[in-house]
Structure 1
Amino acid sequence: MFVDRPVGIDLGTTNSEIALCHPSERRIYLYADRFGRKTMPSAVAWDAKNASLLVGHAARARRTKGGAIVESIKRKMGQTTRTEVGPHALLPEEISAAILKELRTRFAEYLAAEAAGGSDVDMRVARATVTVPAYFDAPQVEATRRAAEQSGLEVLSILQEPTAAAIHATWKHRLGDGNFLVYDLGGGTFDVSIVRCLGGEYQVLAIDGDNYLGGDDLDRRFAERLRLDLVKRGYTLELDVRQNADDALRWSKLVHLAQEIKESLSTRDVVHVSKQDIFEDQGGESVGYDAEIGRAEYESVVGGLIDTTLDCCERALQKSRQLASVGIDGIDHVLLVGGSTRVPLVVRKVTELLAEKSKNAKPLQDEVDTCVALGAAIHAAQLGGLRIGDAAKKSRVSFLTPLAGEGKQLRLGVRVEEAPEGARTLAVRANEQPLAATAFAPGENVRLDVPLGENEENPATLALVDAKGATLAELSFALYRVRAGEARPRASALSRPSVVAKDIALEVVRAGRRERRVLLSHGTGLPAKVSREFFTVDQSGRVVLRLLQERLPIKTLVIEVPPETKVGSRVELELSCDESMRMEARAEVAGQELWALVEAPSAVRYEKVEAILALLDEAEEAGRTLWGAFGQAYHRECEKLCASIRELLAIDPDKCDAHCQKLRLLIDEFRGGEHEAMTPPMHRFEQVLDTLRRIVYRATGPLVGMDRTAWEERLTRIAEEAQRAYEASDGPAWRRLFNELQALVETAYQEELSTVRHDDPTYVARRFASVFAWASRLELDLEDFQPSATEEVRGVQLAEKERLVAWLREKCSRPLAAASGGERDVAETRRTLEQVASELERIQAALERIPSIGLVTDRGSR
């Protein structure tokens, strides 16, 4: 006889875990090896002696032996880049499949010993729910699914990791309805999700995160500190990880040392490091390191990365406030997930800046390494039930409902998937006594009301009986009684546990130019289906529908239609996306229909230094054409990304590539795509035009010397001239009109402010909200500031940053807090706001100058 209960798997960047929820729902089996280790390293290496792959601890042990191992492959999921593993060149999903196959094999052995209790029951590991970071996009999710299928698993669902953690927390602590902020800092990725639990259903309200930020990055950041310290001591260590294999090995050993220091400082304030013969430097000198490192020193180096995660949290909270009015004060529980949340700085900052402002001042921190797999196991049990069978007797039955209940009887949902020839009746028995029976047909779902015994576990059998009453096959199982008040919450299989990570759009023609029309926006709950109507623009005999993920093409549908089809004929497009981000598209035009699965995009890789430098030059050039409020927004984000790219160029090629992708999108958003002749793009022009129209139509009198009629004429003229310039590809005229429009909107906004009665309570309330948002944004910018990697410059920059933080707190945050409390005079509040705004301008200017502290200028005074 075999038992098949679906498992939950957390395929992690650093470690992976697998678990199974017992049918009694009282406990969860979590894999542990013979040493009690509950996690398996996500590491793969080649064993030349046996000509086979090594996976897990055996592979990671190659670190100390200098052998080549593959780690953090999760960061490359969805890419087509192959990695050398011995004689093989494998895709990321193929390497991940090897990890999952090893997990399957080991867990089957573990269950045979633990769950089956030494019996001859075959405990199968065949079906699974596999988790992914909330910020994984469609190609990464699909690659994870393929990896699981290649390992021999049937994938019941792909579940986002923060949702799995919330499911486990609810199950373990028997929590009721509520809102969770899940802070998930793993080895290679960071996610934050705002999750609402209501009646057993989980809805993701907002997500944010970074697929290239995790414990590995803390290690790399501190490894760079170690490298600089060793250089000061006289070692030759100008490493080029990208181009030199020996340098890559030296760097990996420094990273490993940094990881050991991080883990030691999680439990101690000071750690003494004494390592000899770590490796040879570039001059052949044996490198040793001997020093005392304090927790405060470590935190000063990695603190900026933790601040970046909190920036993501704030963005997620802003989205959840907009969508569902759930801010930090509406969060019931803050959950800490992932091994990197053991770092004391993480716990302290999350507690101070998030948990203490929520309804529970202390974050939940339960089984941070394994809670995702545990939650996935609970969800998998709800989706897949329990399957039992006997291959020899050709019988297989699935229980579709839980086997545990509180009442006197339990309603069982059962499907007979395979039965011996002649079987007609399904009977439930206990101690040879009949409990319930019903007729069935193979593949049909049936219901049986079965009396529930008084014991916690009540053994029973399921018999397949022929028309004469003869038992053709009998399968053993058990029913479980749940005592009053002991029932654990169940995650509904009908929940919407995932959201769209990136915009899905359609390329359309507008004003003679290609533009994007968003179909599924970032943050849309899954599963989702959207229908849109478009129209043909020519009589070419075909309709081309090009779907994009952000700006990357993911699928092109081409429908052949009669050439005489009229221009303006209706085109209907339907796009559906399930909770695993698997997308299907259906299009219909002129009676012709086409259906297709939507494939993953292939991103442009920034692997060569020349391409990266060209991108940095393009970013700088784009900044010269942007000014005013849009220019400021671009420069703030661009400078952070460019500084990060320069820092990562030689030490972390994969993360450097990810930041290059972000910079590419930023340039495209503000200035237009690489191959667009017209910059800035049409959508930017339309945004500015819409902003100006709103200012004009809410004005009660003349604005900038023009009345409403004059404004309408001018805006119509600008729009018409801009459209002609865009269609004619007249770049100079297009940019002149855009600049005219931007100047008008900023002038009109300033004049609107000058005409407002400053003692009007409504104005003061709006002004307070604006100034408060400005102060909050500056606070996040200060937290997110990434100092220079050069030690001497870094110290000066951090000192200036701390000065600005204290300035912001003293001159802005405290006055704003005082102005928000109780009844205050409107005039006094307005004066406070103007003073704070003046201070904010000075602080922002000082913040923008931090990256250039100490640099020289070519404009001297004479």
Structure 2
Amino acid sequence: MSYQVGLDLGSAGATVATGGGVTTSGRRQQAPAREVATLLDDLARRHGEPPSRVAMTHPLCWPHEHLEQLRQDLIDAGRADVLFVPAPHAAAIAFDADARMPEHSTVVVFDFGATGCDITVLRKQGVLLLAGQPERVEIGGFALDGLVTEHVIAKIGTHSRELVRSCVEAKELLGSYPEVRIPYLATNGEMREVRLSRLEFESVIRPSVELAVDALERVVASAGLEKPDVVLLVGGSSRIPLVAREIAERLRIPVLRAPDGAAATGAYLEAVQLEPAPDEQPTAEVPLPRKEEEPQRRLPTTAFIAAGLIVLVLGGGWFAHDAMNEPQMKKMENTSVQLEPPGVAELPSFIGPER
């Protein structure tokens, strides 16, 4: 059975979307064309056949020459049927599939990823068209990791690879917890911990986030808009609560977080839409043999019978009228969920080197 695939090769991971859902794995150290071929080979082994249509996202800033070279590399790898979809368009396509945006509405895709922040305004006019001048800010999740690590090292006066990994994990946890305790090995060999609060974390990264939001305001202005209809947050760094809060305070418009794998999902939807419909074989129906029916005796229609039929018709219509106008009662279910208050996350300790 044929199936379609959407691919999104991000800096931190590769996301694959099919009719069965979305999966993300770490990036292999391969050229993009080779990695696409490897991913498709994995899918062919899993499904028993290669996909019938493949769509792959790419940064909007990639030049035409880069795409043509990638296309040639894919052809050389035996993957000539790959369709290219700009990443912001793919994310907006997935959003529109659920939200059903009205015609002429605008969406800003704010893609805050690992290596940078790409900002694009799209207007729906039958299809999603580029509006204004897109912009990329060279500030991403990796840069924020470095800021947090430098801040913690300045507080404790020591450095190690384990500490760097713990700082990165602490940044991820501070999106859900108000404080994180980071264990580290002091210079005297003693195991200690340093506390990092969300307020402290936000004060460290705020200047970088403000630079990205400054670029967002420029892109919106270039599209000739006072306010777009919605800002769609994409990318791992957009999970930081400060990002959505800063955008909402500046632009005063709704800010929505896209589900993980939104770009791959949008590429998959494009692959499905462009998949040609299977040819239907014409079928002919053979009529069943007619059965000889005995002639039915018809009752003579008298004035009394006709009057009775009229009463039945009018009475049934009135009953149906009453039933349609009767207020319908719906049984409502309580779907609220009570969450436990967040506590303090503690990262696992590591064992120091033996002395």
**Which residue of 2 is the match for residue 311 of structure 1?**
214
Following the alignment from structure 1 to structure 2, what is the Cα–Cα distance between the partners of residues 137 and 211?
18
Q: Alpha carbons of 1:157 and 1:97: their partners in 2 closer, same or farther (altered >3 Å)?
A: closer
Q: Is the 8 A contact 1:190 1:213 kept in 2?
A: yes
Q: What's the offset of the Cα at 1:259?
A: 1.7
Unpaired stretches in structure 1, ≥5 consecutive residues: 21-27, 32-37, 45-93, 113-121, 238-249, 387-398, 404-413, 415-425, 435-862
Question: TM-score with structure 1 length normalisation?
Answer: 0.31
The within-5 A match list for 1:522-671 is none
Q: Alpha carbons of 1:209 and 1:198: their partners in 2 closer, same or farther (altered >3 Å)?
A: same
Percent of residue pairs bearing the same amino acid type: 25
Q: What's the offset of the Cα at 1:135?
A: 2.9
Q: Is the 8 A contact 1:6 1:125 kept in 2?
A: yes
Following the alignment from structure 1 to structure 2, what is the Cα–Cα distance between the partners of residues 141 and 309?
27
Partner SS for 2:223: helix
Following the alignment from structure 1 to structure 2, what is the Cα–Cα distance between the partners of residues 8 and 173?
20
Following the alignment from structure 1 to structure 2, what is the Cα–Cα distance between the partners of residues 154 and 230?
54
Following the alignment from structure 1 to structure 2, what is the Cα–Cα distance between the partners of residues 105 and 209?
35
Following the alignment from structure 2 to structure 1, what is the Cα–Cα distance between the partners of residues 128 and 149?
40
Following the alignment from structure 1 to structure 2, what is the Cα–Cα distance between the partners of residues 205 and 335?
15
Following the alignment from structure 1 to structure 2, what is the Cα–Cα distance between the partners of residues 255 and 147?
37
The within-5 A match list for 1:434-473 is none
1:273 to 182, 188, 191: 182
Partner SS for 1:427: coil
**Which residue of 2 is the match for residue 605 of structure 1?**
none
**Which residue of 2 is the match for residue 136 of structure 1?**
62
Partner SS for 1:124: coil
Query: Deviation per CA, 1:183-227, whole angstroms, max 9, x where unpaired?
Result: 11112231111101112x111113433363221111122122233
Q: What's the offset of the Cα at 1:258?
A: 2.3
The within-5 A match list for 1:670-681 is none
Q: Is the 8 A contact 1:134 1:207 kept in 2?
A: no
**Which residue of 2 is the match for residue 301 of structure 1?**
204
The within-5 A match list for 1:386-405 is 386=276, 399=277
**Which residue of 2 is the match for residue 41 of structure 1?**
26
2:21 to 21, 30, 34: 30
Following the alignment from structure 1 to structure 2, what is the Cα–Cα distance between the partners of residues 143 and 302?
37
Q: Is the 8 A contact 2:40 2:50 kept in 1?
A: no
**Which residue of 2 is the match for residue 191 of structure 1?**
118
Following the alignment from structure 2 to structure 1, what is the Cα–Cα distance between the partners of residues 31 and 239?
28
**Which residue of 2 is the match for residue 343 of structure 1?**
240
Following the alignment from structure 1 to structure 2, what is the Cα–Cα distance between the partners of residues 211 and 145?
27
2:40 to 94, 104, 115: 104
1:124 aligns with 2:50: yes
Question: TM-score with structure 2 length normalisation?
Answer: 0.71
Q: Alpha carbons of 1:334 and 1:139: their partners in 2 closer, same or farther (altered >3 Å)?
A: same
Query: Deviation per CA, 1:262-293, whole angstroms, max 9, x where unpaired?
Result: 1110100111112449xxx9xxx869661111
1:373 aligns with 2:300: no
* Structure with the larger RCO, 1 or 2 (CA within 8 Å, 6+ apart): 2
Partner SS for 2:257: coil
User: Which one-letter code corresponds to 1:268 in the other structure?
Assistant: Y
1:176 to 59, 84, 102: 102
Following the alignment from structure 2 to structure 1, what is the Cα–Cα distance between the partners of residues 53 and 116?
26
Unpaired stretches in structure 2, ≥5 consecutive residues: 287-355
Report the number of matched residues: 285
Q: Is the 8 A contact 1:126 1:153 kept in 2?
A: no
User: Which one-letter code corresponds to 1:346 in the other structure?
Assistant: V
Q: Alpha carbons of 1:39 and 1:211: their partners in 2 closer, same or farther (altered >3 Å)?
A: farther
User: Which one-letter code corresponds to 1:353 in the other structure?
Assistant: R
Following the alignment from structure 2 to structure 1, what is the Cα–Cα distance between the partners of residues 77 and 171?
34
Q: Alpha carbons of 1:287 and 1:342: their partners in 2 closer, same or farther (altered >3 Å)?
A: farther
Following the alignment from structure 1 to structure 2, what is the Cα–Cα distance between the partners of residues 150 and 268?
48
Is the strand fraction higher in 1 or 2?
1
2:281 to 400, 409, 427: 427
Q: Is the 8 A contact 2:166 2:182 kept in 1?
A: no
**Which residue of 1 is the match for residue 231 of structure 2?**
334
Following the alignment from structure 2 to structure 1, what is the Cα–Cα distance between the partners of residues 73 and 21?
21
1:206 aligns with 2:132: yes
Query: Deviation per CA, 1:498-545, whole angstroms, max 9, x where unpaired?
Result: xxxxxxxxxxxxxxxxxxxxxxxxxxxxxxxxxxxxxxxxxxxxxxxx
Following the alignment from structure 2 to structure 1, what is the Cα–Cα distance between the partners of residues 9 and 90?
13
1:15 aligns with 2:13: yes
**Which residue of 1 is the match for residue 145 of structure 2?**
219
Following the alignment from structure 2 to structure 1, what is the Cα–Cα distance between the partners of residues 145 and 184?
17
2:80 to 154, 158, 176: 154
The within-5 A match list for 1:493-512 is none
Query: Deviation per CA, 1:680-728, whole angstroms, max 9, x where unpaired?
Result: xxxxxxxxxxxxxxxxxxxxxxxxxxxxxxxxxxxxxxxxxxxxxxxxx
Partner SS for 2:232: strand
Q: What's the offset of the Cα at 1:254?
A: 4.7
**Which residue of 2 is the match for residue 259 of structure 1?**
168
Following the alignment from structure 1 to structure 2, what is the Cα–Cα distance between the partners of residues 146 and 134?
19
1:166 aligns with 2:164: no
Q: What's the offset of the Cα at 1:98?
A: 4.3
Q: What's the offset of the Cα at 1:335?
A: 0.8
**Which residue of 2 is the match for residue 745 of structure 1?**
none
Q: Alpha carbons of 1:273 and 1:197: their partners in 2 closer, same or farther (altered >3 Å)?
A: same
Q: Is the 8 A contact 2:110 2:231 kept in 1?
A: yes
Q: Alpha carbons of 1:275 and 1:311: their partners in 2 closer, same or farther (altered >3 Å)?
A: same
